[in-house]
């Protein structure tokens, strides 16, 4: 409820009269040379406010200042973002992650393309077993995204030993699940799918390095391992999407 205007609390004529009392009509200007000196002195003294008038004037000024503050004291606080219906920062961040999901999932899609390219090589006629193996190993290193410890180069290994996370899939999941609690079932499930993917890449790497691609049976083993890894990668991608709620 708005406070009543100041004019209804204290009449303006009362405040003006208290601060600036009217001058007596009988008083003469101090500079009138025709007026005796003792009359000028009396006239000058009549302009001074007596103690009672001064107190009344001071009280009026203080009261006026207090009344002027009443609207501010009764002014309602500024509405917060939640009162206005705007989502909180956590909801806003979640929406931003959804919008950027295409870029967050890009490394997973690139790894899947590398694995599929390796599968086409291993199931095709090929040029020679040695060249096929060399190309497959290159594709596997690219697809694993530094998540196979034994396949990391010296710089990546040094970063990993110093505590810097180098596995791209771990970074993807960490980003996607950053708004979830540590024990959130969706985050826990995503971490389990990540572990399964890492084991699948390690197994695929071992099979590819220990196979003789000139043998049909060995080529089939590598092809099966590739399909298993692609399946694990798809499951991990779904776990990331679940964390992003997309």
What's residue 85's pLDDT?
Answer: 45
What's residue 73's pLDDT?
Answer: 45
Per-residue pLDDT reduced to its tens digit, 158-207:
777 777 888 999 999 999 999 999 999 999 999 999 999 999 999 999 99
Residue bearing the bigger pLDDT, 19 or 172: 172
Nearest to 205, CA basis, from 139, 156, 158: 139
What's residue 9's pLDDT?
Answer: 45
Residue bearing the bigger pLDDT, 158 or 132: 132
Per-residue pLDDT reduced to its tens digit, 32-84:
444 444 444 444 444 454 555 566 655 555 555 554 554 444 444 444 433 34
Q: pLDDT band at residue 241, thresholds of 50, 70 and 90? A: very high
List C-alpha distances in Å: 53 to 10, 21, 40, 72. Answer: 17, 9, 22, 30
- For the four alpha carbons of 48, 54, 58 and 59, in that order, the dihedral sign comes to negative
What's residue 58's pLDDT?
Answer: 59
What's residue 219's pLDDT?
Answer: 92
User: What is the percent of the chain where pLDDT is above 90?
Assistant: 43
**Mean of all residue pLDDT scores within the chain:** 76
Residue bearing the bigger pLDDT, 12 or 105: 105
What's residue 200's pLDDT?
Answer: 96
Residue bearing the bigger pLDDT, 236 or 59: 236
Q: pLDDT band at residue 154, thresholds of 50, 70 and 90? A: confident
41-53 exposure pattern, b = at least 16 Cβ within 10 A, e = fewer: eebeeeeeeeeee
Over its C-alpha atoms, the chain yields an Rg (Å, rounded) of 43
What's residue 193's pLDDT?
Answer: 97
What's residue 141's pLDDT?
Answer: 92
CB 63 within 8 A of CB 10: yes
Strand ranges for 187-228 from DSSP E: none
CA distance 246 to 243: 8
CA distance 149 to 151: 5
User: What is the percent of the chain where pLDDT is above 70?
Assistant: 63
CB 219 within 8 A of CB 225: no
Q: Is the pLDDT of residue 31 over 90?
A: no
* Helices then strands, each counted (H, E), the chain: 12, 0
Q: pLDDT band at residue 240, thresholds of 50, 70 and 90? A: very high
CA angle 170, 242, 188 (to 5 degrees): 55
């Amino acid at each position: 409820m708005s406070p009543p205007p100041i004019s209804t609390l204290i009449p303006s004529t009362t405040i003006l009269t208290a601060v600036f009392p009217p001058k007596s009509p009988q008083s003469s200007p101090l500079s009138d040379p025709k007026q005796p000196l003792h009359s000028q002195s009396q006239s000058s003294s009549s302009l001074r406010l007596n103690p009672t008038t001064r107190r009344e004037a001071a009280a009026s000024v203080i009261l006026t200042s207090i009344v002027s503050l009443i609207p501010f004291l009764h002014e309602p606080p500024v509405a917060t973002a939640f009162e206005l219906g705007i989502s909180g920062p956590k909801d806003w961040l979640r929406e931003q992650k959804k919008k950027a999901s295409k870029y967050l999932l890009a490394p997973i899609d690139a790894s899947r393309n590398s694995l599929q390219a390796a599968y086409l090589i291993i199931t095709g006629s090929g040029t020679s077993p040695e060249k096929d193996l060399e190309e497959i190993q290159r594709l596997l290193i690219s697809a694993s995204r530094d998540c196979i410890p034994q396949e990391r180069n010296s710089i990546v290994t040094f970063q990993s030993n110093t505590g810097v996370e180098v596995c791209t899939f771990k970074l993807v999941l960490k980003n996607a699940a950053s708004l979830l609690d540590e024990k959130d079932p969706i985050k826990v499930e995503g971490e389990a799918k990540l572990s399964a993917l890492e084991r699948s890449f390690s197994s695929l790497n071992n099979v590819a390095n220990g196979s003789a691609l000139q043998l049909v049976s060995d080529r089939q083993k590598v092809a099966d391992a590739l399909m298993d890894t692609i399946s694990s990668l798809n499951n991990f991608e779904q776990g990331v999407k679940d964390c992003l709620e997309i």
